[in-house]
Amino acid sequence: MRIVTLEEHVSFPEMGAHLPDNILESRKQSEAALQMQAKLADITGERLNSMKASGISMQVLSVESTDVYLLPDGLAPDFASKYNDLLADRMKGHPEFFTAFALLPMTTPEAAADELERTVKTYGFRGAMIRGLINGEFLDAPKFAPVFERAEKLGVPIYIHPGVPPKEVINAYYSNIGDTTGPNEAIACYGWGWHSETAIQILRLLVAGIFDTYPQLKIIIGHMGEMLPMMWGRSNRIFHPGNGGKNKRTLVDTFRDQLYITTSGFFTQPPLQLAIDTVGIDNILFSVDYPFSSNQMGIDFLNNIPLPVDQVAKIAHGNADRLLRL
């Protein structure tokens, strides 16, 4: 069976040469990213060998780094373009195995929209991945409208991936736990915090009317729906049209039309069944979260999905092929 994965990360250390010294000194990469740096930098070595060994047909690559959000507005667009050019160059010998989501300079939304269009038309990128809040701002802010408008025009999705919470949130919720001092990265990020924050991003886009303003826009989120399927029924009752928001449709109707969920990093069946029962099987996309999860973990999970073969095929590749026009 053809297998396509959508949340698979890369990071190229040599791009640090394009960052000002003050940013290099101040930035802090997560421990997980530091431990995985060699795997993140690789495309056609261990990564490709692992894909072949596990039966994965294609990875959609995306940049792990959030350095572009730290740059002054005058430097961010050029940095994003250089990163996307390098990613395209690294993939070019293996188009049957790799495609990509663009890195966008979201602090300069008009330039971000232009970079999205450039990468789609020049390199055949399949959309963009945005990581978390943009310097503390949520994506429903009017300034980010050009990116959503351009994505809808181009017919490509935006993948919203979690990012590191703002310092104020880390201090208030994720620091000084028990008798320890300082933040706890696992609770703040990959163990809980950034998943709930991404769910808030999506609910804010709903309530702000962004999905209705751009009815052909497709949004992807990972990690089996970032907690949204668990809250589906209650949230649908609360965020109904006319209840203080600008949304013209219910949460259920909106998300079944425009929201896609990947399985990245989740390898047990109950969360998958919940996602299917809520957003629907046509909106579920297979992902591994490589290299933070192994390809074999993902394949073992996929092979054990207790559904008919044609429905497993939708998750494995059919929905991604349709959405990304692969």
Euclidean distance between CA atoms 206 and 219, whole angstroms: 11
Alpha-helical (H) ranges within 155-245 are: 167-173, 185-188, 193-207, 210-213, 228-238
Query: Quick check: is 300 catalytic?
Result: no
Euclidean distance between CA atoms 222 and 243, whole angstroms: 28
Which run of H or E residues covers position 53?
Answer: helix 46-54
Euclidean distance between CA atoms 253 and 136, whole angstroms: 29
Answer whether 317's CB lies under 8 Å from 66's CB: no
Euclidean distance between CA atoms 319 and 324, whole angstroms: 8
Q: Supply the DSSP string of 114-168, one letter for each residue.
A: HHHHHHHHHH----EEEES-BTTB-TTSGGGHHHHHHHHHHT--EEEE--PPPHH
Q: Which residues of 279-288 are buried (b: 16+ CB within 10 A; e: fewer)?
A: bebebbbbbb
Distance of CA 269 to the CA centre of its chain: 21
Answer whether 94's CB lies under 8 Å from 48's CB: yes
The C-alpha R_g of the chain, in whole angstroms, comes to 19
Catalytic residue among 253, 289, 300, 321: 289
Active site residues: 289
